[in-house]
Amino acid sequence: MVTRSVQEMRKFVAPEFVFGVDARGLAGRYTANFGAKKVLVVSDPGVCEAGWTDAVMASLADAGIETTLYTDVTPNPRSHEAMRGAEEYRAHGCQAVVAVGGGSPMDCAKGICVVVSNGGDILVYEGVDRIPIPMPPLVCVPTTAGTAADVSQFCIITDEHRDVKIALVSKALVPDVALIDAETLVTMPADLTAATGLDALVHAVEAFSSNASWEITDLCALRAIEGVFRWLEPCMDDPLSIESRTGMALASLEAGLAFSNASLGATHAMAHALGGKLDLPHGECNALLLEHVLNFNLPVFSAGRRVQLARAMGIAIDSATDVEPQAISERLHLFRHGIGVVDSLSSLGVTRADLPLLAETAMGDACMVTNPRRPQQEDIEAIYEAAF
Amino acid sequence: MKRRSESDYAEWDELRARVIGLGENSAQKSYYPELVEQMAEQERFRALLDEVPDLILVVSVTDGSVADANDAAARVLGVPKGDLAGRDIHEVLPEALLRSIDPLLAGEGMRLVAESTLGTPAIAYEISARHVDFGGGHYVVVIGRDITERKRTAKLLEDHRRQLEFEVERRTAALSETVIHLREAADVRNRFLAKMSHELRTPLNSIIGFSGVMLQGHAGDMTEEAIRQLSMINDSGKHLLTLINEVLNYSRIEQGSIEVDCESFNGGDVVRRAVHMLEHEAKRRGLVLTERICDECPVIYSDPGKVTQVLTNLIENGLKYSSAGGVTVHADPDDRGGIVVKVIDTGQGIAASDIDIIWHEFRQLPRPEGALSEGIGLGLAISARLAEAIGAELTVESQVGVGSTFTFRVPNLEEGCLLPGRRPAGPEAQ
């Protein structure tokens, strides 16, 4: 494990966020305050159907703002979708972007913003800290609890020509405002609630595990882990409960703040490889891999951090000074099964022959550099094998 | 499969530093660089605006307040710099000018140009104002230009013009007076010449007549010496009479009394007659006078007396200026029914610089070496006037040392036709 120097400079970046029921109604006021008169609203057909896009556009209209709606966004958004969106933005003389939806519309919106202010192709900005010019104002109204793209410095776009998901990591990608309204979560179907909820859990665990974690990110990460274990099952049981949904929205926010500033680890690096190659759902891939990655990582944790993690997961520990790594991964395994995520990589259609290439791709992912234990490619292959 | 070494992981450490937000672009999540650029642009624009000597005011149409103004506006209107913005335009501009601008602010008309005095002491300004929309707002931009200098220049020009006009009037009056005096003088001269010529001709006729009678022997026999001397008296008298006739002729022309007396005649006959009249004179001078006259010369309608007079003048002149060789006269019909006569001499020729003076009264070119001066320099001047009177054209071509050719184009005026350029107040005039 990388030893953190006490002298190392750290920073914590978070956008302005408004948390609470009806926060979506502030979209008009915030956008007007940025001085924008025309905006591009980025959403997807599912969110439109649920009615949240109309609600946000009504708020914009009330503030006297003209809108252009862009919904050609698929799950795991493609680079050409971001490029098309940027064309729409320019063609309509927009001055800001409002994203309404889950990770896909928000990441697509970020891609659009990067191209609008920096020009060129979105794929050019792949990597860490590669975006020189800030984006136009971006207001996010998340309608899922997990991705946290509304507060994070990450943007994941699929390079459809190479079949890989590329990561853009930059402080420039942190949106200007997140309007987090738990009421928008009630229309999520159960499988989406489960996948995004587990995504939030993986964000929090990976941020806590990260070799770049520190006191502030730990605070958020542990709170988020507690929150997911406390509220995800109630959300599955009673989708309309505002209390449960608010609990998950908060957990997702905390997890987002944690991973945006501490970054992630091998689980995400490996999930990105899977998502790019086989177009698999991000939250589910993460959930399947996390327990196996922890088996690899936990031995390098200090005993104290293993105990902190176990306590956050609600594992009963009687004044113990350490906890068995096995107990933690088992808890995770049972938890995902409890909410119905029971697949393995093979049942998702991954073949053994895919594994070496997937491992090689994962080794090149930016998330891998903050994994607490520096792996060799064979270690990653072994983890894929375990989740197979 | 490649195994990663510690140095490979060093790259990961470097990447990690950037992930946690300490990379070179990560301090850039703001619009400050763009803001700085915009502020610089605004400063440049401000400097431009304030350096303009014209007064510039931007007035909001919505409430008539000054939205912006440049330094010149503040200076002229006597308001501290920066205090103009926000003020009601009605507190700032004089009432008379506002009466022009108010309709524009009310949305009537798009632009105006007016004159007004502004500031203390009052200075003349040309005010132009027009509607401009920007940033979603409606404005009237008022621009004032100091026209003191322009007005001063215009006044100077006007004064100068008046002065010139006065001067022209004064000179014209003086000239008119001079012309009257000159005319009177010319009249006096002409009357004097006519009278004198007449008075001189009477005794001269007696001298010529009686000396002629005596030479014919009617007054008895005389010695050879007496006859020789009497011949000299008779010749000198005749010469003097020619000169006096020439002067008399000229003074008549000068008085504007050329009477044209037209009739139909054969152009060739008139030319032939003129040549014939001077054959004796040519012989006397030892020169050859030849003619080449068209076989079927046209019958023309003109004044045969004037034509004859011009032709004899031209032939005589040719003879006078030729010391050897002689004069050749060609006559040909022209393509408009008239006749063209060329009088070609073998004289000394006329230099290009002298070609104009031959038509002037009392001017003569130097005679051939050794020859005596003849005449008083009126021949060509009279010929030109006579030719003009019958609508004819008289031109000369000459080459020094070779000779001169005078061309006399006599038009066929046709019966009843008027001379070209002389329009009567008749039924034809509208």
CA–CA distances in Å: residue A232 to residues A188, A190, A200, B374: 13, 11, 10, 144
Residues A102 and A249 in one domain: no
Question: Does any domain span residue A75?
Answer: yes
Looking at residue B181, what is its pLDDT?
Answer: 93
Residues B282 and B325 in one domain: yes
Residues B281 and B336 in one domain: yes
Domain boundary among A139, A167, A185: A185
pLDDT of B29 strictly over 90: no
Looking at residue B35, what is its pLDDT?
Answer: 65
At residue B245 the predicted structure's pLDDT band, cuts being 50, 70 and 90, is confident
At residue B247 the predicted structure's pLDDT band, cuts being 50, 70 and 90, is confident
pLDDT digit string (tens) for B180-220? 999 888 888 777 877 877 788 888 888 899 888 888 888 88
At residue A233 the predicted structure's pLDDT band, cuts being 50, 70 and 90, is very high
Give yes or no for A261 touching B (CB within 8 A): yes
Residues A196 and A328 in one domain: yes
Question: Does any domain span residue B118?
Answer: yes
Question: Which range is most confident: B8-22, B95-109, B231-245?
Answer: B95-109
What is the mean predicted confidence (pLDDT) over B292-317?
Answer: 90
B423 vs A297, higher pLDDT: A297
Looking at residue B417, what is its pLDDT?
Answer: 52
Residues A228 and A253 in one domain: yes
Domain boundary among B233, B254, B275: B254
In chain A, residues with a C-beta closer than 8 Å to the C-beta of B1 are 356, 377-378
pLDDT of B373 strictly over 90: no
Residue B140's nearest CA partner among B98, B113, B94, B101 is B101
Contact A171 B1 (CB under 8 A): no
Looking at residue B33, what is its pLDDT?
Answer: 62
B419 vs A123, higher pLDDT: A123
Residues A86 and A207 in one domain: no
Question: Does any domain span residue B12?
Answer: no
Residues B76 and B120 in one domain: yes
In chain A, residues with a C-beta closer than 8 Å to the C-beta of B27 are 171
Residues B359 and B269 in one domain: yes
Of all residues in chain B, what percent carry a pLDDT higher than 90? 33
Number of domains in chain A: 2
Domain boundary among B85, B116, B146: B146
At residue B423 the predicted structure's pLDDT band, cuts being 50, 70 and 90, is very low
Among A10, A171, A378, select the one facing B1 at the smallest CB separation: A378
Looking at residue A155, what is its pLDDT?
Answer: 95
pLDDT of B422 strictly over 70: no
Question: Does any domain span residue A10?
Answer: no
Structural domain range at position B106: 45-146
Residues A131 and A264 in one domain: no
Give yes or no for A320 touching B (CB within 8 A): no
Q: Which residues contact B29 (CB under 8 A, 6 or more apart)?
A: A13, A134, A171, A172, A174
Question: Does any domain span residue A127?
Answer: yes
Contact A134 B12 (CB under 8 A): no
Question: Which range is most confident: A30-34, A41-45, B348-352, B368-372?
Answer: A41-45
Looking at residue A200, what is its pLDDT?
Answer: 96
Nearest CA in chain B to A132: B25
| Residues 288-317 of chain A whose Cβ lies under 8 A from any Cβ of chain B | none
B395 strand-pairing partners: B407
pLDDT of B233 strictly over 80: yes
Structural domain range at position A217: 190-387
A281 vs A307, higher pLDDT: A307
Looking at residue B32, what is its pLDDT?
Answer: 58
CATH number at residue A362: 1.20.1090.10
pLDDT of B365 strictly over 80: no
Residues B342 and B375 in one domain: yes
Of all residues in chain A, what percent carry a pLDDT higher than 70? 98
Nearest CA in chain B to A2: B13
Residues A28 and A168 in one domain: yes
**Interface size, chain A vs chain B, as Cβ–Cβ contacts under 8 Å:** 74
Residues A162 and A227 in one domain: no
pLDDT of A1 strictly over 60: no
Mean pLDDT of chain A: 92
Looking at residue B419, what is its pLDDT?
Answer: 57
CB B374 within 8 A of CB B352: no
pLDDT of A385 strictly over 90: yes
Residues B321 and B236 in one domain: no
Contact A172 B28 (CB under 8 A): yes
Looking at residue B370, what is its pLDDT?
Answer: 54
pLDDT of A181 strictly over 70: yes
pLDDT digit string (tens) for A238-262? 999 999 999 999 999 999 999 999 9
Contact B29 A174 (CB under 8 A): yes
Residues B402 and B289 in one domain: yes
Question: Does any domain span residue B16?
Answer: no
Residues A166 and A196 in one domain: no
In chain A, residues with a C-beta closer than 8 Å to the C-beta of B19 are 128, 169, 212, 263, 366, 369-370
Looking at residue B377, what is its pLDDT?
Answer: 72
Residues A88 and A110 in one domain: yes
Q: B35 to chain A, minimum CA–CA distance in Å?
A: 12
Among A131, A366, A378, select the one facing B15 at the smallest CB separation: A366
CATH number at residue A33: 3.40.50.1970
B375 vs A325, higher pLDDT: A325
pLDDT digit string (tens) for A55-89? 999 999 999 999 999 999 998 899 999 999 999 99
Among A174, A369, A377, select the one facing B15 at the smallest CB separation: A369
Question: Does any domain span residue A4?
Answer: no
Mean pLDDT of chain B: 84
Contact B19 A9 (CB under 8 A): no
Looking at residue B24, what is its pLDDT?
Answer: 66
Residues B276 and B396 in one domain: yes
Question: Does any domain span residue A381?
Answer: yes
pLDDT digit string (tens) for A21-51? 999 999 999 999 888 899 999 999 999 999 9
Among B1, B19, B31, select the one facing A369 at the smallest CB separation: B19
Residues B383 and B331 in one domain: yes
Three-state secondary structure of chain A: CCCCCCCCCCCCCCCEEEECCCHHHHHHHHHHHCCCCEEEEECCHHHHHHCHHHHHHHHHHHCCCEEEEECCCCCCCEHHHHHHHHHHHHHCCCCEEEEEECHHHHHHHHHHHHHHHHCCCHHHHCEECCCCCCCCCEEEEECCCCCCCCCCCEEEEEECCCCEEEEEECHHHCCCEEEECHHHHCCCCHHHHHHHHHHHHHHHHHHHHCCCCCHHHHHHHHHHHHHHHHHHHHHHHCCCCHHHHHHHHHHHHHHHHHHHHHCCCHHHHHHHHHHHHHCCCHHHHHHHHHHHHHHHHHHHCCHHHHHHHHHHCCCCCCCCCCCCHHHHHHHHHHHHHHCCCCCCCCCCCCCHHHHHHHHHHHHCCHHHHHCCCCCCHHHHHHHHHHHC
Question: Does any domain span residue A22?
Answer: yes
Number of domains in chain B: 3
Looking at residue B324, what is its pLDDT?
Answer: 82
CATH number at residue B213: 1.10.287
In chain B, residues with a C-beta closer than 8 Å to the C-beta of A128 are 15, 18-19, 23
Domain boundary among B211, B230, B254: B254
Residues A129 and A194 in one domain: no
Among A133, A169, A363, select the one facing B19 at the smallest CB separation: A169
At residue B305 the predicted structure's pLDDT band, cuts being 50, 70 and 90, is confident
Optimal mutation site among A4, A129, A138, interface B, most CBs of chain B within 10 A: A129
Looking at residue B415, what is its pLDDT?
Answer: 63
CATH number at residue B84: 3.30.450.20
Residues B249 and B272 in one domain: no
Looking at residue B421, what is its pLDDT?
Answer: 44
CB A358 within 8 A of CB A321: no
Question: Does any domain span residue A9?
Answer: no
Looking at residue B430, what is its pLDDT?
Answer: 34
Nearest CA in chain B to A374: B9
pLDDT digit string (tens) for A197-213? 999 999 999 999 999 99
Question: Does any domain span residue A277?
Answer: yes
Residues B241 and B203 in one domain: yes
Optimal mutation site among B12, B20, B34, B38, interface A, most CBs of chain A within 10 A: B20
Looking at residue B325, what is its pLDDT?
Answer: 86
Looking at residue B429, what is its pLDDT?
Answer: 34
Domain boundary among A185, A217, A238: A185
Q: Which two tokens stand for residue A17?
A: 């966020």
Contact B2 A174 (CB under 8 A): no
Residues B277 and B397 in one domain: yes
Give yes or no for A13 touching B (CB within 8 A): yes
Residues B430 and B428: their CA atoms lie apart, in Å, by 6
CA–CA distances in Å: residue A387 to residues A290, A373, A382: 9, 19, 9
Looking at residue B48, what is its pLDDT?
Answer: 92
CATH number at residue B367: 3.30.565.10
Residues A240 and A95 in one domain: no
Residues A196 and A155 in one domain: no
Residues A231 and B325: their CA atoms lie apart, in Å, by 143
Amino acid at A207: A
